[in-house]
Amino acid sequence: MARSCFIDMGNSRIKLWLCDNEKIIASYAVAHQYSPNILMSGLPKEFYGYVDFVGVSSVLNDKVNQELESLCLLLWRCTPQFARTDYATLGIQCAYKDPALLGIDRWLNILAVAVRQPVCVVSCGTALTIDVVNDNQHLGGYIFPGMNLQLSSLLHGTQRVRPHDITYATLDFGKNTSESVHHGILLACIAAIEKVYAALKQMTDKNVQLILTGGDSERLSPHLQIAHDMMPELLLMGLQRYFGHSS
């Protein structure tokens, strides 16, 4: 039985899936603080065994990636394979003239949902990214500051905007500074998603699928006026598909 490990090295967290063939048998996630060696202090015992393939998605720099490679060799005696954005993968054409400039996290999300095209995939994390795919063509997308980055920019860029609590409960008009800030951030994200979705629907004149993933998707989901699916581990699904470990 083939045993594989898939690793998502994101901006703030590292996530792992341990699989027998396509079946997930263990998972783990932890804040990495820019060092994959954090895994040595808390990795579940299920991961300390034979692994014959390691597939990696990383948005971090070469130094961190080299540390991760060394860790994989130490744990499993297996050199990891890093996913890369290309002109075309699994029949999907990349919109970027230089595919290397498209983040691998966005590319893997696209590959994970491409079977449902026309599709709009939204990753709600440190950044809010939106990508659209139709007729096996990635049409491009958008990158916005995520909800916490929007809040941080207001705090750092102003002297008197000081919201006193963290809540994104409604889209109502804010009746104090705190509500105005948090409701405004929520509105900006919702409006962006619905605008892009409407544009793709008008362009294709088809039933467009909307997929949300990422840590802030649960904050945004209740306020969307569009039917959608939430797929929290979308990137790891795309990573499996990229390396041919998923049907």
Positions marked active-site? 105
Are 124 and 214 a contacting pair, CB within 8 Å?
yes
Q: How many Å from the N-terminal Cα to the C-terminal Cα in the chain?
A: 16
Separation CA 142–CA 158 (nearest Å): 26
Burial group, residue 97, by CB count within 10 angstroms (0-12, 13-18, 19+): exposed
Q: What contacts 24+ positions apart, CB below 8 Å, involve 83-91? A: 83/55, 83/56, 83/57, 83/107, 83/108, 83/239, 83/242, 83/243, 89/242, 90/114, 90/241, 90/242, 91/136
List, in order, residues 6 or more apart from 166 with CB less than 8 Å away: 151, 182
Tokens matching residue 209: 């699928």
Q: Quick one: tokens of 115? A: 């079977």
Nearest of 3, 5, 2 to residue 236 by alpha carbon: 5
Q: What angle do CA 4, 26, 30 make, to 5 degrees?
A: 100
Distance CA 105, CA 6 (A): 13
